[in-house]
Amino acid sequence: MSDGTEPGHAVAILVDLSRLLSANDGTGRVWEACPDPDANRLLGENPFAFLLAVLADYGVPAERAWQLPSRLRKHLGHLDPARIAAMPFQELEDAIRQIPQGHRFPGEVARYFIAGARKVATEYRGDAARIWQGRNVHDALLHLDAFPGIGQKKGSMAVNILCRDLGWVKPEPEELSVIDVSYDVHVRRVFLRAGFVERDTMPEVLDAARRLNPAYPGELDLGAWHIGRTWCRPTEPECTKCPLVVVCPKLISRNPEAA
């Protein structure tokens, strides 16, 4: 860490928190992406709904993005990749706009949804599970990254969830080393304030996670994201309530350069 503090304790805290928050904790707990049980059920049963949620996860609170596929299905009466692929852009944008709490950027989401649906319909024979099914982690990441709207942040997040929470990808232990943390604003803030990195750049954040937890860098992701969202907020952080309080140098003036 930048102040000379031994980072091992901080890493252990993040790993323990990530495991605590994970659905794959051995108890049979269902993965919960949002407060809506029907939406969670759909995400855990329908790979195309999962893909749409990943595409929608930006610019709005995560819970809102992950509820959108369920709300869209209710609005359209279906969630069929071929039918969505054939929808006129304006029709889908209007549908998303009409859904209460649908999305802050209905046009961009509609564009990503139509492009994603076309890829699923034409390249994966209508089955979104084929994006990752039977693939190793590296190949699953490559296939996800080929979708417009999925970059480093969403790809790493998605593969982490597929492995950690849903069990749809079952990596060999050595494969976990290729799963990075997401370059997400909450993760970045924690890495900056905890002194893991000096600057808010993607290479520095990813390299720090690989250095700190080389066997599975992405295992730091969920804990850091939760801390950044819950306590290590941009303003008025609640440092005394944060699990990292005993080891964090509390560089609270540091904030990511872009939200």
- Of the options 1.10.10.10, 2.102.10.10, 3.40.50.300, 1.10.1670.10, the CATH number for the domain spanning 8-24+176-241: 1.10.1670.10
Contact 15, 217 (CB under 8 A): no
The pLDDT tens digits of the residues spanning 57-67 come to 999 999 999 99
Contact 103, 124 (CB under 8 A): no
Q: What is the pLDDT of residue 2?
A: 45
Domain ranges of the chain: 8-24+176-241, 37-174
- 31: alpha, beta or left? (left if phi > 0; alpha if psi -120 to 50): beta
Q: Please provide residue 247's backbone torsions phi and psi, each rounded to the nearest 5 degrees.
A: -125, -15
Neighbouring residues of 139: CB distance < 8 A, sequence distance ≥ 6: none
Q: What is the pLDDT of residue 258?
A: 52
Q: What is the pLDDT of residue 49?
A: 98
> Hey, what are 246's tokens?
């005993």
| Positions of the chain with pLDDT lower than 50, given as ranges | 1-4, 259
Give the CATH architecture of domain 37-174. Orthogonal Bundle (1.10)
